[in-house]
Amino acid sequence: MQLQAIDWVFVISFFAVSLAVGLIVARRAGRSISEYFLSSRNMPWVLLGVSMVATTFSTDTPNLVTDIVRNNGVAGNWLWWAFLLTGMLTVFVYANLWRRSGVVTDVEFYELRYSGRMAAFLRGFRGLYLGVFFNIVIMASVNLAAIKIGGVLLGLTPVQTLVVAAIVVVTYSTLGGLRGVLITDLIQFVIAMIGAIVAAIVAVQRPEVGGLGGLLSNEALRGKLSILPDFSNTALLMTVFIVPLAVQWWSVWYPGSEPGGGGYVAQRMLAARGENDAIKATFLFQAAHYALRPWPWIIVALSSIIVFPNLESLRAAFPNADPSFVRHDMAYPAMLTFLPAGLLGLVVTSLIAAYTSTISTHLNWGSSYVVNDFYKRFIKPDAGEREHVLVGRIATVVLMVVACILSLFMSNALQVFNIMLQIGAGTGLLFILRWFWWRINPWSEITAMVVSFLVAVYFTFIHGPIGGGELTDWQQLLIGIAITTVAWVGVTFVTAPSDHKTLRSFYKLVRPSGRGWNAVLRRAAADGERIEVSGMRGVLPLGILCMVLGCFAIYGALFAAGSFIYGNIVPAIILTVVTAGAVAGLAWAWPKLRESQRG
């Protein structure tokens, strides 16, 4: 396949605009680390919310969805749809707490919440663990998708794809900082959505598919179309539905869906103009992420089952592709090869936009940890702002180079997704409770991090896919959650809490609600220090009510859209009414929550 002149116009224009944005904001970005990593904390909620969506609208995401649908049907998407519960909890319970904290990165939180040398160690180690190790794994998985798309659509080798992609994204990310990332994310999201919709329209018009009616009636899709899994298939039911909804969403740390907020989502909330903007930005992210984007990807994935029914058909269609990269997630870029000139350039540009938005965010986010939580905190605290920005730019380049190298050793998107879930298994509850229970301390966090990682290594290399074990993914996940949770809870009770001065300072700054801080308040009263709490009563129940209403609204919109696509009009109308009712309830409860939070 070769791009025509009109296709290259789209691609080159996008590169030019992205680089121009980086150059325009470069001088401003270099003033300070607050500007480079947080855009001076004055960003509007729409720009921040769209940026979060654009970041998760990665090149590997449609590949992942295609992998899931081809293996487990539409219902398999509950693996990630379940994380909406986490997202809504972040919106209505944690967004304002993060914004009040005033930290530069979410790992700076550790020295705000905990005390002593272990708090400092945890901040530095966690900064490198997430910002370097974990972040590189995530970027490598995104690079893997770019490799497959570059090979299928452009005929590029993996190295050629990575060199071109890295040069462009590193250039504007290094120059523009977070402000440059946010502005380009807005452009990239619009392009990516248009490309996804165009790809879906072209996919269903393939002669083998026969339009939307032909797609939905095709025998090859029997058992693949249902939004809910087959309840008679216990293994699938546990894997994609029961475990994600009952356990996974609150117990597992996953990038972009961290229980209690965190990562680049926290970075966006911290860059907001105020608490209300942080909340609205995060809500926009959840609505667009779960209700707006999935169906174009799902339609392409379903169409691919008809056109490329198995891996052999994919290998036959692309005989020059590296066999190690031919997995089910390759079916998405394979479907794009049928696009005509012009549309092909638009969709290729949309995929490049999706790639660059994700990578640029992870580069800026990861380098913020390297600078703020390692270099500035431990190596050279007295360095000037411009030196810190320079270190951030160097870190950006190094992170990208290492991620490119690692991506050459990966095979498919779902494999990476499952490994990351296992690494974060059992840590989620801690991240939820540390805001509301004074007893959690640095040893709790260290234990959770170390134990979950060791369990993931065991299941991956000894008793898992590589080691030849027989346990399923959901069984491994539950065991990992149980072991890690028992370990960190036990350590919490046998180790000393942070000192009361730090706990009181944190409480007065962040003002969390609930009874988990009563012991600290009683100790403060005994010492003659009265801390006012009356204005915070009732915040947590209202936040949880808004969370539930938000979930009903977004799930209702997601499944109403699916029902309309399937031609199931009565369920679609019922789901639309449910969505409208949830939105009305949210319109009533949200202002009351904001009033309580201000108190």
**pLDDT by residue (tens digit) across 575-592?**
999 999 999 999 999 999
Q: What pLDDT is recorded for position 538?
A: 65
pLDDT at 415 over 70: no
Rounded distance, CA 407 to CA 380, Å? 32
Please give the Cα distance from 487 to 482 (Å, whole number): 8
3-state secondary structure of 425: strand
The answer, yes or no, to whether residue 386 has pLDDT greater than 80, is: yes
Average pLDDT, the chain: 86
Q: Name residue, tokens 């007065």.
A: 508
14-23, 47-56, 310-319, 540-549: least confident range: 14-23
Question: In percent, how much of the chain has pLDDT > 70?
Answer: 94
CA distance 69 to 305: 9
Q: What is the pLDDT of residue 282?
A: 94
Rounded mean pLDDT, 355-365: 84
pLDDT at 555 over 50: yes
The angle that helices 343-370 and 5-29 make with each other, rounded to 10 degrees, is 20
**CB contact at 8 A, 111 and 361:** no
Closest CA to 180 of 289, 17, 44, 61: 17
Does residue 271 contact residue 43 with C-beta atoms inside 8 Å? yes
With residues binned 3-state (H G I as helix, E B as strand, rest as coil), the percentages for the chain, rounded to 5, are 80, 0, 20
Instruction: Compare 37 and 541 and report the one with higher pLDDT.
Output: 541
DSSP state at residue 465? T
What are the residues whose beta carbons fall under 8 Å from the beta carbon of 103, sequence distance 6 or more? 109, 112, 270
Helix/strand/coil for 147: helix
154 near 347, Cβ under 8 Å? Answer: no
465 versus 526: which is more confidently predicted? 526
How many other β-carbons are positioned within 10 Å of the β-carbon of residue 350?
A: 27
Say whether pLDDT at 1 is over 60: no
Q: Judge contact between 48 and 271, C-beta under 8 A.
A: yes
Nearest to 389 by CA among 25, 119, 2: 25
Res. 570: pLDDT tops 60 = yes
Phi, psi of 214, deg, nearest 5: -65, -35
Q: What are φ and ψ of residue 205, in 5° steps?
A: -90, 0
Assess whether pLDDT exceeds 60 at residue 489: yes
Instruction: Say how many C-beta atoms besides its own lie within 10 A of residue 82's C-beta.
Output: 22
Q: Is the pLDDT of residue 468 over 60?
A: no
Distance CA 307, CA 335 (A): 8
pLDDT at 180: 82
Half-sphere exposure of 111 (CA within 13 A, CB side): 17
- Could you report the per-residue pLDDT of 94-145, keeping only the tens digit for each? 998 999 998 888 899 999 999 999 999 999 998 888 888 888 888 888 888 7
Residue 536 CB burial class (10 angstroms; 0-12, 13-18, ≥19):
middle
- Tell me what pLDDT residue 564 has: 95
Nearest to 337 by CA among 347, 329, 328: 347
**Predicted pLDDT at 418:** 66
Lowest mean pLDDT among 170-179, 252-261, 415-424, 576-585: 415-424
pLDDT digits (tens, 9 = 90+) for 515-537: 899 999 999 989 888 887 655 55
- Which residues, 6+ apart, have CB-to-CB distance to 37 below 8 Å? 104, 105, 177, 178, 267, 364, 367, 368, 371, 372, 392
Measured between alpha carbons, how far is 443 from 64 in angstroms, rounded to an integer?
35
pLDDT at 466: 47
Question: What's the rounded Cα separation, in Å, for the pair 523 and 414?
Answer: 49
The pLDDT confidence band at residue 167, using thresholds 50, 70 and 90, is confident
| Residue 534, both tokens | 């009356």
388-to-32, 36, 174, 267, 385 alpha-carbon distances in Å = 8, 10, 13, 18, 5
pTM equals: 0.87
CA–CA distance, 588 with 27 (Å, rounded to integer): 44
Q: What is the pLDDT of residue 170?
A: 82
Q: How much is the pLDDT for 573? A: 97
Task: State the pLDDT confidence band at 354, using cuts at 50, 70 and 90.
Answer: confident
In which residue are the tokens 């855009």 written? 39
Residues 537-566, mean pLDDT to the nearest whole number: 92
**282 C-beta neighbours (distance < 10 Å), count:** 29
At 473, the pLDDT band (50, 70, 90 cuts) reads confident
Summarize the confidence of residues 182-192 as an average pLDDT: 85
* Structure-token match 């012991």, residue found: 519
pLDDT-derived band of residue 599, with 50, 70 and 90 as boundaries? low
pLDDT at 417: 63
pLDDT for 316 equals 87
pLDDT-derived band at 442 (thresholds 50, 70, 90) equals very high
How would residue 464 be classed by pLDDT, with cut points 50, 70 and 90? low
Q: Which amino acid is at 300?
A: V
Closest CA to 498 of 110, 111, 108, 114: 114
DSSP state letters, 395-442:
HHHHHHHHHHHHHTT---HHHHHHHHHHHTBTTHHHHHHTTT-TT--H
- The CA distance from 239 to 72, in Å, is 10
